[in-house]
A and B are shown apart, each in its own frame.
Chain A
Amino acid sequence: MGRRYTGNGTAASGANKTCLNLISAATIRPALYDLVIGSVATPADAAVKWHVARTTAVGTEGSGFTPIALDPGDPASLADYAVAHSSEPTYTSNAVLLQISMNQRNTFRWVAAPGGEMVAPATASNGLGCKTVSVSTGTTAYEVVMFHEE
């Protein structure tokens, strides 16, 4: 098993709004194995469609999130996380790895079975982005938590 790390981010939802982007590096293939999506905003009804998809450029992040090693003895992660983009990452067309439609009141979790991880290529600035594709109403903030190994 590779070294495991976690990162999280909060961002407003909307049409094609990235909440959290796992950015690869030229030396490793980060593998996403756990994903949690939820909102702490005042409960309300809003239908949201989420995509986890491949990215090839990082865009402009509002802030970064340094991955936290689950084992404190591990070195710093080679991959990185980006949060709350002012300029969206570039998504590869037809490369949606997971699609979820849910109500704002829901919390979603996806966990990979061993060997079922979503793997990003070992290419700098490539990665896996988690974004809201469409929202029925409002711009409610959502939290996304990712766990990856590398």
Chain B
Amino acid sequence: MSDKKWTALRPKGTSILSGPDGVIEADTLQCVHCGCHWQVQPGSGKLRGFCSRCNGPVCGPQCSECVPMERQLEIMEGSSNGTEVSTSVIWTPGS
């Protein structure tokens, strides 16, 4: 039986872990900067943020500079450089 307790209003993914002890479902959120996913886990103690420029969640202090995911992909592809970044993140613990 599904036990989806960890949810988000606008999830970017869903993870399902099934095994002998049952099924654990959780929504995942995606960092608007680096593109990583993490399971929504209230009370985890991990510091997450919200970028008011990108209007989306940020995975942690290492992504505090506002370099949107599209821009990061362009940097990886060599079609853009990594200069001219700014910070516009509001931090929210444990989400």
Question: Which residues of A are in contact with B by a Cβ distance under 8 Å?
Answer: 29, 54, 94-100, 102-103, 105-113, 115-116, 118-119, 121-123, 126
Contacts and interface: CB of A to CB of B under 8 A. Distances in A.
B3 to A, nearest CB: 14
A116 B17 contact: no
Interface stretch (B31-39, B47-55, B83-91): B31-39
A136 to B, nearest CB: 16
Contacts of B78: 123
Interface of B: 11-20, 28, 30, 34-38, 62, 69, 73, 76-78
Given A94-B62, A108-B17, A123-B78, A113 B36 contact: no
Nearest to A96: B36
B76 A110 contact: no
Given A97-B37, A106-B17, A119 B69 contact: yes
A109 B16 contact: yes
Q: Which of B15, B76, B77 has the most CB of A within 10 A?
A: B76
B39 to A, nearest CB: 9
A109 B16 CA distance: 5
A146 to B, nearest CB: 14
B77 A123 contact: yes
Contacts of B15: 100, 108-111
Nearest to B12: A116
Contacts of A29: 73
A118 B31 CA distance: 11
Residue from A116, A119, A122 having most chain B Cβ neighbours under 10 A: A116
A107 B18 CA distance: 5
A113 B28 CA distance: 9
